[in-house]
């Protein structure tokens, strides 16, 4: 290795170290100013770690049945007890975090991204295009989240991919309205007029100039939608319209803890319910804190 290569490598190492230290300072400042948001972020990180490392930290295979251990109360071998098929509840909760995050993130990302692009494009073109798009969004907004998701599932059928699409559709109009309101204030700014004067196409102006300037509300929407998506996925699975057995999912676990097991094995419903509540609460806390940090009107000086 030549001297020049060694110098360049050392420079890249120093630059990487500076970036890491800068991110750590941002994280520490966020934790000091918004401890509740930091607590939510910590829970989300624990949930992510459980989803990624489920195969290593889960004490049992979530799909393995043991009819000799049916409906066992929490004990040393099974910390959170077993279900009606003898499956370990703790293992299924750990693997269920993987299902919740995959469905939640995919649905939230697709819904927020498509809605943001549609809202920005609607604001940019204006006129009849804006009128038609917004009336269609109003039509979708007239349905509650769960009702519209149920309609989509009824049309497409059950399954993981269809559940993602069913949760994605109700999020599109909500993201579109927020993105449109942000883009309307940018449409007549000097840098957009300059882009038009230079002859840039509509697609370039939308994707290169308008969309990057609505990233703050987009990130806030994405974190807020994640909690809603996890709750919707659990609701659909509980109703038998989400992911199907034997996939570990928190809503399915609640559905399995039906009325006949409410008194005999309450842990079958208590622990999955706690997992759903804590995860949704964590995403809501983090989303609210992120909104306060990114919104200039709410930013603490």
Q: What is the pLDDT of residues 175-208, one digit of tens each?
A: 999 888 888 877 777 877 787 777 777 788 888 8
Model confidence at 130: pLDDT above 90: no
Strand partners, 54: none
pLDDT over 90 percentage in the chain: 12
Q: Is the peptide bond before 246 cis (omega within 30 degrees of 0)?
A: yes
- Pick from 46, 41, 50: which is nearest to 94 by CA? 50
3-class secondary-structure state, position 80: coil
Q: What is the mean pLDDT of residues 135-160?
A: 84
Task: Supply the mean pLDDT for the chain.
Answer: 82
Indicate the pLDDT class of residue 214, thresholds 50, 70 and 90.
Answer: confident
d(CA 11, CA 239): 57
**In this structure, what DSSP letter does residue 248 have?**
-
The pLDDT assigned to 301 comes to: 42
pLDDT tens digits along 63-81: 888 888 888 888 888 888 8
The pLDDT assigned to 300 comes to: 46
Least confident range of 37-46, 77-86, 92-101, 251-260: 251-260
pLDDT tens digits along 27-44: 677 677 778 888 888 899
Strand partners, 223: none
**Other C-beta atoms within 10 Å of 243: how many?**
24
Q: What is the mean pLDDT of residues 217-235?
A: 87
The pLDDT assigned to 260 comes to: 66
Model pTM score: 0.82
Of 256 and 234, the structure prediction assigns the larger pLDDT to 234
- Residue with tokens 């975090």, as numbered in its chain: 97
Model confidence at 110: pLDDT above 90: yes
pLDDT over 70 percentage in the chain: 87
d(CA 29, CA 85): 48
Axis crossing angle, helix 267-294 with helix 35-52, rounded to the nearest 10? 130
The pLDDT assigned to 210 comes to: 84
């Amino acid at each position: 290795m030549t001297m020049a290569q060694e110098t360049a490598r050392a420079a890249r190492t120093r630059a990487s170290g500076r970036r890491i230290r800068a991110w750590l300072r941002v994280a520490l400042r966020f934790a000091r100013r918004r401890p509740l948001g930091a607590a939510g972020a910590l829970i989300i990180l624990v949930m992510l770690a459980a989803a990624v490392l489920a195969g290593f930290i889960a004490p049992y295979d979530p799909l393995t049945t043991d009819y000799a251990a049916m409906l066992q109360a929490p004990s040393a071998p099974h910390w959170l007890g077993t279900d009606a098929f003898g499956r370990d509840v703790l293992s299924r909760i750990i693997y269920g975090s993987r299902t919740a995050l995959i469905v939640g993130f995919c649905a939230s990302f697709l819904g927020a991204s498509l809605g943001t692009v549609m809202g920005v494009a609607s604001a940019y073109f204006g006129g009849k295009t804006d009128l038609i798009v917004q009336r269609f969004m109003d039509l979708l907004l007239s349905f509650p989240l769960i009702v519209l998701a149920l309609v989509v599932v009824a049309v497409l059928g059950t399954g993981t991919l269809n559940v993602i699409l069913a949760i994605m559709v109700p999020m599109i109009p909500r993201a579109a309205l927020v993105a449109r309101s942000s883009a309307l204030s940018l449409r007549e700014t000097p840098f957009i007029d300059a882009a038009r004067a230079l002859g840039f196409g509509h697609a370039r102006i939308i994707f290169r100039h308008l969309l990057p300037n609505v990233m703050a509300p987009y990130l806030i929407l994405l974190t807020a939608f994640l909690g809603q998506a996890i709750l919707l996925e659990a609701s659909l699975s509980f109703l038998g319209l989400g992911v199907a057995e034997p996939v570990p999912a928190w809503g399915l676990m609640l559905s399995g803890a039906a009325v006949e097991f409410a008194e005999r094995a309450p842990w079958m419903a208590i622990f999955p319910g706690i997992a759903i509540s804590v995860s949704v609460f964590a995403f809501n806390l983090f989303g609210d804190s992120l909104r306060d940090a990114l919104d200039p009107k709410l930013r603490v000086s």
